[in-house]
Structure 1
Amino acid sequence: MCDKALGKEAHTDDNSGSRGSPTGERMKPGMHLKTADTIVFIGDSITDAERHRQACKPLGLGYVHFVGNLLWARRPELNLSIVNTGVSGDTIRDLEHRWEKDCIAHGPNVVSILVGINDVWQLTMEPALARTASTPSEYEVTYDGLLSRTKKRYDCQFVLMEPFMFCRDRSNAVFNALMSYIEIVRGLAAKYNAVLVPLQQEIDRQIAEIPPEKWSGDAVHPYLWAHAWIALRWLEATGL
């Protein structure tokens, strides 16, 4: 059965309903979504999660699937449009290249972003890409530019999700490098009054009792239950 929002395709591209309202409510814990609001989730493979672009599972099989369906179940009268435009392997540069088509074109009321782990991976683990990989400085400038550009078009609110690893080895090169990117996301969340989903912080709190191999087979891509866990953290952070 297809993922739908009460008769509306979850990945609809139409312009019906409320899109980027200039006087929309700011998204804070305890917020109230409006009828026909559009929430765009954009990012890399963790957001993508095997979504079918034009087929029956536009939300994928990951945290966006859980968030979207829980929001529809909790507030069916709002007829929310939930859009997943995650693409496996994406870096912040990739998001910039497709931002107009995969974010702004949807007229979002809320934009949720999870990106960074591929930037870190290329910088630390891919010698052929390291020289041209996005540094923390470029990551910050590009990310900031996307938020600023979107804010000029729509009075939407942002949900910024910390990039993360399921790791407790502080000597791990990727994990160490990731910390700089996480700090950037935290700073941008403060700058734009965005909702921050502190995923790495929450993982760090539980990793002693729940070892990395229980969360993921490769320290990055969550198992299904961990996707559900991420969805709960998203809902808690937004107060929805």
Structure 2
Amino acid sequence: MTQISRFLLVLLTAGLLAMSAAKPTRVIFFGDSITQAGVNPGGYIDRLKKMMPSDQYELIGAGIGGNKIYDLFLRMDDDVLAKQPDVVVIWVGVNDVWHKATSGTGTDPDKFVKFYEAVVKKLQAANIRVVLCTPAAIGEKTDMTNQQDGDLNQYSQFIRDIAKRQNLPLVDLRKAFQAYDLQHNTDNKDRGTLTTDRVHLNDTGNQFVAEQMQQVLMAGK
């Protein structure tokens, strides 16, 4: 090999390494209507794009209104795996609980855990880093009189347990929302502190969620 050839090879190798190093981490947020709204101006994903280095992270929303855990399982091939993410943030569970009261559906506890574990397993099989989130709120009253506090706490614990068993990073939004409401919702209102309607995020809620997500995502960089 001539000296010029070696020089060109070194330049090519350096260029390929630079391209590889410059490739941003692709993060998909996988969830329901809260995540669907998260990509809108002022939404938590939109805010995260401004809070995290754009040359290091590519953030993509994959939320669909009304989705439960089995909906995520059924659409993950097209909406997640096909996009070849490096990280997937799973934020689901509100509809699995909420729809028990609103439409008599929801998801039974054993089925919730089985589908949730199946989603995690399939993502891990594709060498994707998985971040779990607990469902934040169905009502913001601080005295535990929201209609579905008990179920929401139970399903949040299921997710904490999965995170612990699988040694996965966890954004414990349920715990964070309860602590924030205790401090800021002094009138014990069922909405208006972090949510517009007991579930979906207001401006403060979007910023709060973005901050919680940022801490965990950037810790794993």
Say yes or no: TM over 0.5. Answer: yes
Change (3 A) 1:141 1:65: same
Distance 1:63 1:145 in 2: 26
Residues 167 and 175 in structure 1, CA contact (< 8 A), matched pair in contact too: no
Larger Rg: 2
1:77 matched to 2:55? The reply is yes
Could you say what secondary structure the match of 1:207 adopts? helix
1:118 matched to 2:95? The reply is yes
Distance 1:205 1:101 in 2: 37
Aligned residues: 193
Q: Please state how far the C-alpha of 1:146 moved relative to its aligned partner.
A: 0.7
Which of 116, 129, 135 aligns to 1:163? It is: 135
Distance 1:163 1:120 in 2: 10
Q: Please state how far the C-alpha of 1:34 moved relative to its aligned partner.
A: 6.9
Distance 2:115 2:141 in 1: 27
Equivalent in the alignment of 2:34: 46
Distance 1:97 1:115 in 2: 14
Structure 1: state its 5+ residue gaps. 1-16, 19-32, 52-58
Distance 1:60 1:221 in 2: 13
Within a 5 Å distance, the mapping from 1:68-217 to structure 2 comes to 68-71=49-52, 75-78=53-56, 80-127=57-104, 129=105, 133-153=106-126, 155-165=127-137, 166-211=140-185, 212-217=191-196
Equivalent in the alignment of 1:228: 207
Moved over 4 A (4+): none
Residues 123 and 135 in structure 1, CA contact (< 8 A), matched pair in contact too: no
Equivalent in the alignment of 2:15: none
Q: Please state how far the C-alpha of 1:193 moved relative to its aligned partner.
A: 2.1
Could you say what secondary structure the match of 1:85 adopts? strand
Could you say what secondary structure the match of 2:90 adopts? strand
**Partner AA of 1:119 in structure 2:** D
Distance 1:219 1:87 in 2: 18
Higher relative contact order (CA 8 A, sep 6+): 1
Distance 2:178 2:22 in 1: 34
Residues 47 and 87 in structure 1, CA contact (< 8 A), matched pair in contact too: yes
Identical residues among aligned pairs (%): 24
Q: Which moved more, 1:165-174 or 1:40-49?
A: 165-174
Structure 2: state its 5+ residue gaps. 1-18, 186-190
Q: Please state how far the C-alpha of 1:102 moved relative to its aligned partner.
A: 0.7
Q: Please state how far the C-alpha of 1:121 moved relative to its aligned partner.
A: 1.0
Distance 1:181 1:167 in 2: 18
Residues 167 and 219 in structure 1, CA contact (< 8 A), matched pair in contact too: no
Q: Please state how far the C-alpha of 1:172 moved relative to its aligned partner.
A: 2.8
**Partner AA of 2:131 in structure 1:** V
Q: Please state how far the C-alpha of 1:218 moved relative to its aligned partner.
A: 1.6
**Partner AA of 1:110 in structure 2:** V
Distance 1:195 1:186 in 2: 10
Residues 161 and 196 in structure 1, CA contact (< 8 A), matched pair in contact too: yes
The normalised TM-score by structure 2 is: 0.80
Residues 112 and 158 in structure 1, CA contact (< 8 A), matched pair in contact too: yes
Distance 1:101 1:63 in 2: 23
Distance 2:22 2:176 in 1: 29
Could you say what secondary structure the match of 1:81 adopts? strand
Instruction: Answer 1 or 2: which has greater helix percent.
Output: 2
